Amino acid sequence: MACDSGPALRDMTPPKADVAGQTSQAPTAAAVSSCLRLETLKQRADFLRAAKARRIACTAFLLQARETGTPSTARVGFTCSKKIGNAVARNRAKRRLRAVARAVMPAQALPGWDYVLVGRPGATVSHDFAAMCDELHSALRKLHGGRA
């Protein structure tokens, strides 16, 4: 049986992209303009050192921060105790904290600092995401005295 190369197959070619029109428009996705690299805290000792340092309480989480002296990176850690709930609730709270940190930290965090976001029972899972971002933004500004 021969393959029919009628008009239906010729119409399936993809449309040509307008290359000139794409360069004149600004990208719509929010790009991070900061060169700051965020790393994740993984060692228990780093979490314990941050717990002894500065603390700023927010409605949905607690921010712990300390200056380390490593100038190229800012490190961030996330923790939720069993007071949050079962494993599903704790993982959801940590996912929300990671998303808030990804949205705010690259532009606001300072290099050479360790940050730990601690989830709060009842608040981290159910609090409004935009309000959480605003709280982290204002907590970082308060922590750094307007330098962020």
Per-residue pLDDT tens over the stretch 116-129: 999 999 899 999 99
Per-residue pLDDT tens over the stretch 32-59: 445 577 889 999 999 999 999 999 999 9
Distance CA 131, CA 102 (A): 15
Sheet with 113-119, side-by-side order of all strands = 37-40, 73-79, 113-119, 61-67, 54-57
Phi, then psi, of 33 in degrees rounded to 5: -90, -10
C-alpha dihedral, 41 to 42 to 43 to 44, nearest 10°? 90
CATH 3.30.230.10, domain 38-144, yes or no: yes
pLDDT level of residue 30 (50, 70, 90 thresholds)? very low
Per-residue pLDDT tens over the stretch 52-110: 999 999 999 999 999 987 787 889 999 999 999 999 999 999 999 999 999 999 989 88
Query: Token pair for residue 50?
Result: 């941050």
